[in-house]
Structure 1
Amino acid sequence: METETPIHVLFIDDEPGLLNAIRDYLSIVHSIGVDICNSAAEALTREDLFSFDCLIIDYEMPDIDGLTLLGEIRSMNADIPIIMFTGRGHEDVAMHAINAGADYYVKKGGNPEELFSELAHYIRNGVSRYRAEQSLVEKERRYRAVVEDLTEFVCRMDGEGRIVFVNSAFLKSLQTPSDLLSGVTFHSLYPDNQKEIEDAIAFCDPDYPSVEIQLPFYAGHGRIIWHQWIIRAIFNEKYEVQEIQAVGRDISKQREIDRQGIILKDLGLALATSSTLESALTFSLSAAIEISGMETGSIYLLDRDTDTLSLFLDQGPYRAALSRFIEGFMQETSEEPVFSTGNPYYLSMTDMRRYESRFTALAFIPIQRYEDVTGYFVLASENLIEVPYDVRRPLEGVASQIGNVVTRIEAEEALRDALIESEERYMQLSETSPDAIAILTGIKVAYLNPAAAMLFEVHSPDEFLEKPLREYFDPNLKEWFDTIIKTTERGKGPSSCEGFLKTRQNKTLYGELITVPISHAGEEAVLLIIRDKTSQRLQEQALIESEKRFREMADFLPEPLFEADVDGKLTFYNQGVIALLKRQTDSEHSLCMASDLVSAEEQSRFSTLLKKVSIDLVPMAGEFVAAGNSDNLRFIHLSLAPVIRDGNCSGTRGILIDITEIKRYQEKLHHMIEEKDVLFRELHHRVKNNMQIISSMLQLQEDYISDDAVLSALHDCEQRIDSMALVHETLYRTESLADIPFDRYVENLAQAVTEGFATVRDIRTEIDVGGTRLSLDTAVTIGLIVNELMVNSMKYAFVDRPSGIIRIRLSCEDERCILQYSDDGIGLPEGFDIEKISSLGMRLVRILAKQIRGVLTIENNPGAGMRCTVMFPKQEG
């Protein structure tokens, strides 16, 4: 939500009391900021004079009166709101103030609250009007800037169609200065379309105020530029056209592309149906002339024998003149590489001046087949200055198609020759084919290859034809053969069938018969191919027998097995499945879908797993509740594998394992583990309690000891016992009993040590151990080390200091862990040596570090603290 900008005014008056009163009232009651100025001269020298939203001027001032100041300000800024404030007569002064440029007039005196409220009212009205005018000016400036930067045309007209504004994009397209368009009517720019423009504007009404129109603008040198306009009429209250706005763009290029596209499309269709080179070249030359707008054209082809270009085809009114020019041009440029590069060659009016010709522009476009130039398109014009750049690429495209068409026509001719040759080769292939081949006209055998004689054990075709061909087939093949030969089925395309045949010696064969409708000797015929598949049939039979034995063997396996197709429908399941599910094999209770193997609640999850196996083509497994009696649930482990045929999934195989007893044993084992976990936690809890009892007994003993050294030793023992007790407390409070979250433990330890020393010093601990977890033994050892170091710091490091910091950091990386302990106290004594120290605490630190196979180093900075580092193997933690 936008908020209104606060108002800030300048009050110019020589009465300080009045200035302060008005400033306080306007700022408190009306939230109007007020700056004050004690004289007119001071106001004129202010640099921020016109940064205020409004000026309030006193009429009577000693140095410069209000009217004079008003005139000076208006000479510099004619828009800022100004209010005249005076104690003189209202009518006399008001006229002078208003005439001098004041926006409002306020008379002093009367009720102060009414006076100040009236002043605030005038301030708000004046500022609101001033800001609205400034916003309008800014919007107008931005509007003009945007309009000038648009690539589209913008034109504004009055109700009569006279132009009042055009942007730079439209002026650039017209190539006309803006001052020449002032007062010119819009339709005069398109004189041939005046009535079309008037009708379009007349078509507009308040309900449908806009219309689209395309207009041609005639530029220099006979060039036409097409403009597309959206004209919108703006109506007044009387529904009269008050203003006309038009937004347009140059569509010449798009129209040219569309025109060329239509020509090229028609040419493509014509070339596709052309069967001769002459017709193809005629269509192409006509399209090239139409695309380029050039009047005359010809095609020259290369004679392979003489290696010269000769005229093949020409069109247009100046064909003879073009032929003469080309003849002279080729002689003149015979030494130049014009026709040998294979690149298009364009001549403009400037180039043509050195030739005596009526033409002003020429184009030579090569016709290429693969990498060789086979001819040229030559186009000429006596009107164009040069070949337009936007038609050069389409012209080259027309020429490039010719090479493809010539290749196609030659290929068709070669194909006709190849067909004749293929018939001869077909007969040769048929004679040597291992398949039996016969040509049937009606029910007669018109041809029989040697493989057929061998297949049916005959010595000659005549012997084979002694009885009808259908007599060699079994009953099923006879029915199929009669359908093909005696009905209209013979002409519908290839057909095939498999069955048994008998030779002349009564030997049984299994073969595949294929019929193909053909034409033979001008008559309809059937090509019959007989392929001996006896050995393949025997292999298939052996495979069927093998599969039968597999199914019988699988059916008697104790493990439940099944197969399903890609839709999840069961295709096989053995007796083990039935035994597992306690189901009968009769039709009333037989299994249908693979999902029937599991309980109804888990069928959706089972179907998802089945689908995933068939998509990913990888074996998967899962645990489910078997279908059957809900009072006696059986748990199964289901393993699925895809059945892949020719790279595609044709179904799934699965094996079921009853894991009910395993699940029950796991559940029992889980309960036992939970019981052990409770016992171990109770054990650690009691160890912690016993250590706390020992610590409490030591504290009681302290009450009977007066020796400070003994008391200190007992106190240190308490700290060590508490440190070990804290490990057991942390352990039984965590989820895992295998290791300890060291961050929680060391925080509690640091707090316990700090609270154990009653001191007024501000000792802070900074701990950074991350999420490190340590075993019980390592945690106890590291905890004792930290305890000894903290006790040492609390006793000796911060003597005569009000505060201090202890830092503890533990990090593990690669194969080692590093414990870093430091404080900012007074440091260790001069010449400190950990190996020679007699202090029990520091000796313990050294011994404990060796216990975890750690390396202990101590850095001492007298007056600036100490740093202790213990580096130990990671496997210890």
Structure 2
Amino acid sequence: MANYKISYKALTDLFKECESLLTKNINIDGNDKRELLEKLTFIRNNLTGISTLENALLYRLIFEEAPVGIVQYNSEGVITTCNYRFIRIIGSSAEKLIGLNMLNLPDQDVVKAVKKSLNGKTGLYEGNYKSVTAEKTTPLRAKFTPIGSGINNNQGGIGIVEDVTENFLALAALSESRSRYQTLFENNHSILLIIDPVTGFIFDANPAAESFYGWNRETLRNMSINEIDTNPYNEVKSSIKNFASSPENYSQAIHRLSDGTTRQVEIAGGEINFVKRNLVYLIVHDISERVQMQESLRKFELGLDRSSHPVFITDIEGKIQYINAAFEDLYGFSKKEAIGKKPSILKSEKQSDEFYKDFWETILSGKVSSGEIINKTKNGDLVTVIYSSNPIINEHGKIIGFIAIHDDITERIKMEEAIRQSLYEKEIMLAEIHHRVKNNLALVSAMMVLQAENSDNNELKGKLHDSANRIKAISNIHEHLYSTSNFASIDFIDNTFKLIENILSTLQTDTEITIEKRSGSVFININQGVYCSLIINEVVTNIVKHAMRGSRKGTIGIKAKEKDGIVIVVISDDGHPLPEEFQSENFSSLGMELIHILARQLDGTFGYNSINGETHFTLSFKKADNPKKKFSSGK
């Protein structure tokens, strides 16, 4: 046995330290703990009266049986002995520890505590100690006590070392718990409230709740959940209890904000224990926008469902995801039959492959494709529809599907075809009418010419020829209409040119007369065309008989223009000028009388003048889009 040199005070302190540690919650089995307490009781009872260090057996009992590590070192800090508990704590062996100078340890906090004990004071250490004799780091708490007394301690000291791994782990767990709480609660972007289920008061609120509700944290901690939740008190209380009993519960509510506005929220929650106190946490999600969007979607779906136009929606791969009732009615496919299929179920083979290639290239580029297409129903019937296919683009600009809207125009196509056929038949009929009228007028004109040729009365012969020309002027209008597809109006310049050609042919003048078109086309309706043709017949007949008489050559010019709804017609000739005393209103003849009558029918005016060697007949009247007056020979 070693000769232990230790003071009575040091022995007493050692005993008290061991007794104190033993009564704490140290990791020692219950039986061992009771046995050690009995030994310590024996030592305490026998300490009375000990005044020297000779009782080494008593010290050995404390030394060997202590529940903590004990290390003894000399005045130079060199370890002279240690108990088994100390060896276990350090994770080394007695051979490596005995003779180790603690003043040379790399952990300066240990060195400072040992030096303090060698200077006659108690040195304390607490921290993660890394052993120099073993690859082990252990959380330790150590107390280094001098054996002697005074500043010049030459007897060394004793260190009592406690393994505080459990405390360290507990502190680490607490720190981790606090960190987790800060991460999950303080830094959570979700709105979190902790509620006392008994009183309904808000125990805590995170920054996200402050931002959402508009009250600061301190104000929220002094509020009840009923001041936020607009539901009746009993409903709120029942909801909180449900969260405490079943964390899978969800509820919706309307929460009031600090500015008086409300927001629709969805709440999830559960029970937590905080310092032996049962509380309820609430995770609040603002679903106001989602509810509004759902409402809009419901309205949208309702609108699509009730639309009279067939509508279907596909995903990005073209598979049908939705059809409305009008789609079922038109194409005959039920939702079960159509959903999951591709729109090719409607393909009629009436469109080329190039058509479908252009179609897909258009909508896949984010553009709208629209037009007319022939589809096939479930029963094989062909339907013509106007379609509009639109890409569905999300908030990130990505195409997520397509929506197509169809408008069945099959009946309209049939009706248009019937109308076209009817118009075609009417055009044929009108053309035939004009042709027959022209032929009849030509027959009457020919009979009058024939009558004139068989008459010996030159005056009668001239009048019959004049009447025949007037009838030809009307016949010329019907011939012009028959030769065109437009039965509502005539080209005035072309019609007048042909009319003058007919007049020159009938009158058989010796003068070589040239006809000039001096303007572009002007279109007038058939009634005004008849009046104008009869007037021009009289004017041109007069030019040939009088202005060109005796001339070898001559020119007749035709000019017409429309300005501000007024048509102005000018017939010019370079024949003999009018007498200076000529006044149309004073000139009495059947031809002039007809001009006056027909001009009044047109609500127009006419006149003569001579400029630069030409005589001009000018007629002006208001253009009528539709015939308003029937032909009349009365004044």
TM-score w.r.t. the length of structure 2 is 0.52
**Using the alignment, how far apart are the partners of 1:616 and 1:810 within structure 2?**
54
Q: Secondary structure at the match of 1:858?
A: strand
Q: Which residue of 2 aligns with 1:580?
A: 330
Q: Which residue of 2 aligns with 1:798?
A: 548
Percent pairwise identity: 27
**Partners of 2:319 and 2:342 within 8 A in 1:** yes
Instruction: Report whether the alignment pairs 1:875 with 2:624.
Output: yes
Equivalent position amino acid for 2:619 in 1: V
Equivalent position amino acid for 2:324 in 1: N
**Partners of 2:511 and 2:549 within 8 A in 1:** no
Q: Which residue of 2 aligns with 1:774?
A: 524
Q: Secondary structure at the match of 2:514?
A: strand
* Post-superposition offset of 1:870: 1.2
Of the three residues 754, 757, 774, the one matched with 2:504 is: 754
**Partners of 2:387 and 2:407 within 8 A in 1:** yes
Q: Describe the shift of the 1:873–1:818 C-alpha distance in structure 2 as closer, same or farther (beyond 3 A).
A: same
* Post-superposition offset of 1:606: 6.5
Of the three residues 180, 188, 193, the one matched with 1:455 is: 193
**Using the alignment, how far apart are the partners of 2:600 and 2:381 within structure 1?**
60
Q: Describe the shift of the 1:769–1:549 C-alpha distance in structure 2 as closer, same or farther (beyond 3 A).
A: closer
Q: Secondary structure at the match of 1:635?
A: strand
Structure whose alpha-carbon radius of gyration is higher: 2
* Post-superposition offset of 1:704: 3.1
Instruction: Report whether the alignment pairs 1:865 with 2:631.
Output: no
| Higher RCO, Cα 8 Å, sep 6+ | 2
Residue correspondence of structure 1 range 493-572 to structure 2 within 5 A: 502=270, 504=272, 509-510=282-283, 532-533=284-285, 535-536=286-287, 540=290, 543-544=293-294, 547=297, 551=301, 554-555=304-305, 559-564=309-314, 569-572=319-322
**Partners of 1:812 and 1:818 within 8 A in 2:** yes
- What per-residue deviation string (whole Å, max 9, x for no partner) do you get for residues 826-858 of structure 1? 112231111111022223223222221222121
* Post-superposition offset of 1:775: 1.2
* Post-superposition offset of 1:755: 1.4
**Partners of 1:822 and 1:866 within 8 A in 2:** yes
Q: Which moved more, 1:832-841 or 1:640-649?
A: 640-649
Q: Secondary structure at the match of 2:350?
A: helix
Equivalent position amino acid for 2:371 in 1: G
**Using the alignment, how far apart are the partners of 2:436 and 2:424 within structure 1?**
18
Q: Which residue of 2 aligns with 1:632?
A: 381
Residue correspondence of structure 1 range 149-548 to structure 2 within 5 A: 445=179, 448=182, 455-457=193-195, 459=203, 502=270, 504=272, 509-510=282-283, 532-533=284-285, 535-536=286-287, 540=290, 543-544=293-294, 547=297
Q: Which residue of 2 aligns with 1:743?
A: 493
**Using the alignment, how far apart are the partners of 1:629 and 1:709 within structure 2?**
83
Q: Which residue of 2 aligns with 1:664?
A: 414
Q: Secondary structure at the match of 2:406?
A: strand
- What per-residue deviation string (whole Å, max 9, x for no partner) do you get for residues 49-78 of structure 1? xxxxxxxxxxxxxxxxxxxxxxxxxxxxxx
Q: Secondary structure at the match of 2:421?
A: helix
Q: Secondary structure at the match of 2:428?
A: helix
- What per-residue deviation string (whole Å, max 9, x for no partner) do you get for residues 289-328 of structure 1? xxxxxxxxxxxxxxxxxxxxxxxxxxxxxxxxxxxxxxxx
**Using the alignment, how far apart are the partners of 2:366 and 2:589 within structure 1?**
70
Q: Secondary structure at the match of 1:634?
A: strand
Q: Describe the shift of the 1:540–1:868 C-alpha distance in structure 2 as closer, same or farther (beyond 3 A).
A: same
**Using the alignment, how far apart are the partners of 1:441 and 1:803 within structure 2?**
124
Q: Secondary structure at the match of 1:699?
A: helix
Q: Describe the shift of the 1:616–1:865 C-alpha distance in structure 2 as closer, same or farther (beyond 3 A).
A: farther
**Using the alignment, how far apart are the partners of 1:647 and 1:745 within structure 2?**
67
**Using the alignment, how far apart are the partners of 1:543 and 1:864 within structure 2?**
85
**Using the alignment, how far apart are the partners of 1:669 and 1:709 within structure 2?**
54
Equivalent position amino acid for 1:869 in 2: T
* Post-superposition offset of 1:571: 3.1
**Partners of 1:797 and 1:865 within 8 A in 2:** no
Equivalences, count: 382
**Using the alignment, how far apart are the partners of 1:623 and 1:809 within structure 2?**
47
Of the three residues 449, 452, 463, the one matched with 1:713 is: 463
TM-score w.r.t. the length of structure 1 is 0.39
* Post-superposition offset of 1:670: 2.0
Q: Which residue of 1 aligns with 2:424?
A: 674
* Post-superposition offset of 1:697: 1.1
Q: Describe the shift of the 1:580–1:771 C-alpha distance in structure 2 as closer, same or farther (beyond 3 A).
A: same
**Using the alignment, how far apart are the partners of 2:528 and 2:193 within structure 1?**
90
Of the three residues 548, 573, 576, the one matched with 1:826 is: 576
**Partners of 2:470 and 2:537 within 8 A in 1:** yes
Residue correspondence of structure 1 range 687-706 to structure 2 within 5 A: 687-706=437-456
Equivalent position amino acid for 2:449 in 1: Q
**Partners of 2:320 and 2:339 within 8 A in 1:** no
Q: Describe the shift of the 1:474–1:832 C-alpha distance in structure 2 as closer, same or farther (beyond 3 A).
A: same
Q: Which moved more, 1:766-775 or 1:549-558?
A: 549-558
**Partners of 1:581 and 1:627 within 8 A in 2:** yes
Q: Describe the shift of the 1:760–1:623 C-alpha distance in structure 2 as closer, same or farther (beyond 3 A).
A: same
Q: Secondary structure at the match of 1:728?
A: helix
**Partners of 1:610 and 1:640 within 8 A in 2:** no
Q: Describe the shift of the 1:730–1:647 C-alpha distance in structure 2 as closer, same or farther (beyond 3 A).
A: farther
- What per-residue deviation string (whole Å, max 9, x for no partner) do you get for residues 155-174 of structure 1? xxxxxxxxxxxxxxxxxxxx
Q: Which residue of 2 aligns with 1:198?
A: none
- What per-residue deviation string (whole Å, max 9, x for no partner) do you get for residues 425-482 of structure 1? xxxxxxxxxxxxxxx9866517737787962348479xxxxxxxxx99989xxxxxxx
- What per-residue deviation string (whole Å, max 9, x for no partner) do you get for residues 627-647 of structure 1? 236963222233556656559
Q: Describe the shift of the 1:717–1:565 C-alpha distance in structure 2 as closer, same or farther (beyond 3 A).
A: farther
**Using the alignment, how far apart are the partners of 1:666 and 1:828 within structure 2?**
58
**Using the alignment, how far apart are the partners of 2:281 and 2:293 within structure 1?**
21
**Using the alignment, how far apart are the partners of 2:548 and 2:292 within structure 1?**
97
Q: Secondary structure at the match of 1:455?
A: strand
Residue correspondence of structure 1 range 10-49 to structure 2 within 5 A: none
**Partners of 2:322 and 2:339 within 8 A in 1:** no
Q: Which residue of 2 aligns with 1:431?
A: none
Equivalent position amino acid for 1:502 in 2: G
Q: Which residue of 2 aligns with 1:856?
A: 606
**Partners of 2:194 and 2:204 within 8 A in 1:** no
**Partners of 1:568 and 1:595 within 8 A in 2:** no
**Partners of 1:455 and 1:503 within 8 A in 2:** no
Q: Secondary structure at the match of 2:503?
A: helix
Q: Which residue of 2 aligns with 1:813?
A: 563
Q: Secondary structure at the match of 2:376?
A: coil
Q: Describe the shift of the 1:472–1:815 C-alpha distance in structure 2 as closer, same or farther (beyond 3 A).
A: farther
**Using the alignment, how far apart are the partners of 1:876 and 1:574 within structure 2?**
48
Equivalent position amino acid for 1:572 in 2: Y
Q: Describe the shift of the 1:830–1:567 C-alpha distance in structure 2 as closer, same or farther (beyond 3 A).
A: farther
**Partners of 2:445 and 2:471 within 8 A in 1:** yes
- What per-residue deviation string (whole Å, max 9, x for no partner) do you get for residues 102-121 of structure 1? xxxxxxxxxxxxxxxxxxxx
**C-alpha root-mean-square deviation of aligned residues, in Å?**
4.1
Q: Describe the shift of the 1:719–1:876 C-alpha distance in structure 2 as closer, same or farther (beyond 3 A).
A: farther
Q: Describe the shift of the 1:545–1:772 C-alpha distance in structure 2 as closer, same or farther (beyond 3 A).
A: closer
* Post-superposition offset of 1:695: 0.4
**Partners of 1:456 and 1:502 within 8 A in 2:** no
Q: Describe the shift of the 1:854–1:509 C-alpha distance in structure 2 as closer, same or farther (beyond 3 A).
A: farther
